[in-house]
Amino acid sequence: MATTTSLRLGSACATLRADTAKAAHSLNGATVVKAAPKRLQLRRPGAARAAMMEAPPVPMKSHEEKNLPHIEQIKALSLVTAIKTPYLPDGRFDIDAYDYLVHHQIENGTEAIIVGGTTGEGHLMSWDEHVMLIAHTVYCFGDKLKVIGNTGSNSTGEAMHATEQGFAVGMHAALQINPYYGKTSVDGLIQHYKAVLPMGPAIVYNVPARTGTDLTPDVIEELAQHENFAGVKECVGNERVSAHTSKGIVVWSGNDDQCHDAKWKHGANGVISVLSNLVPGLVHEMLTTGPHPELNAKLAPLTKWLFLEPNPIGLSTALCQLGLVRPVFRLPYMPYNEARRREFVDIVHNIGLEHFIGAKDVRALKDDDFHLITRFY
């Protein structure tokens, strides 16, 4: 695996407008790539080139009018994909590959995507990059699906600023994680959410395995009183899903291995899914056409494989092996080992390659095929 230090000039918004007029030199044995800013035309997949995209608009203040969907449109969503962010070898976003992935989500019935979530590696982005990607997604796809920006933070002020910027560039809703690492009290949690909820529709994200803090049903019930509370992405389990839905709270399962039963036995609206990056059509079928225990069982080996290591390692490895994204990883993420990469090929053939996004080919990549990026902004 090759490791590269990649350093870019200017903000990520400038990078989106940049063509690749590059100058490279050596820094401690690593390649440093500098990009001179020019304009880059962004394309809708399958369409003529779109108009030039300048830097996102100046963020609106919280008191300004926002062109937001009615909260009920967010609450009605069933299949939401936490979309992957692909990279170029120098560490920048691969916008063409990203557009391809989103386009196929739309073609297979996905109703919304999470931009820059855990799966999309938002925590490895600068906020400039993050807001730029939200803006690009809205600009190219916002009329086809709902764009939900992961603008939460463990800093209330930072979450407010990022959420304000996200709504300014047109996102339809925000995904809001609770403060992590620097944990706070229950009262602090509630005040944090009361600061960000007035900005627009929000899905609260409860994933204590990552944050170290569980948003208990009592906390969620209090937050649900706010008019901009759309629902909760719940990762604790299906008993917790039932605890929420019994009180009329909208829930999306955050666990692909539990989403079938969450939907059909526990009252969840659907899932915010990693699995649907690979087989969106099958996940859509499983969630919209009645209980499908056989299909759920058929997908179980793939779901298990995806989470052998912390997400998004499995998904990124899988998309590389399907030839849909370049085999580039931003550290600290690294691909699965070769044995697990060979297992994925067998799983794909057992399910049927025709069900996978792109349906091109699948192969087990070698270690030398992968490129690891250390510094990328």
Q: Which residue has the tokens 């225990």?
A: 293
- How many CA atoms does the CB half-sphere of 165 hold within 13 Å? 21
Between CA 98 and CA 289 the distance in angstroms is: 28
181 is an active site residue: no
233 is an active site residue: yes
What would you measure as the largest C-alpha separation in the chain, in angstroms? Answer: 61
In contact, 307 and 349? CB cutoff 8 Å: no
Token pair belonging to 289: 């056409």
* Best CA proximity match to 207, nearest among 174, 164, 230, 237: 237
Catalytic residue among 98, 139, 205, 336: 205
352: left (phi over 0), alpha (psi -120 to 50) or beta: left
* Best CA proximity match to 12, nearest among 110, 132, 117, 100: 132
* Best CA proximity match to 45, nearest among 88, 99, 87: 99
In contact, 315 and 364? CB cutoff 8 Å: no
Neighbours of 296 (CB within 10 A): 20
Catalytic residue among 87, 233, 263, 336: 233
Residues with active-site annotation? 205, 233
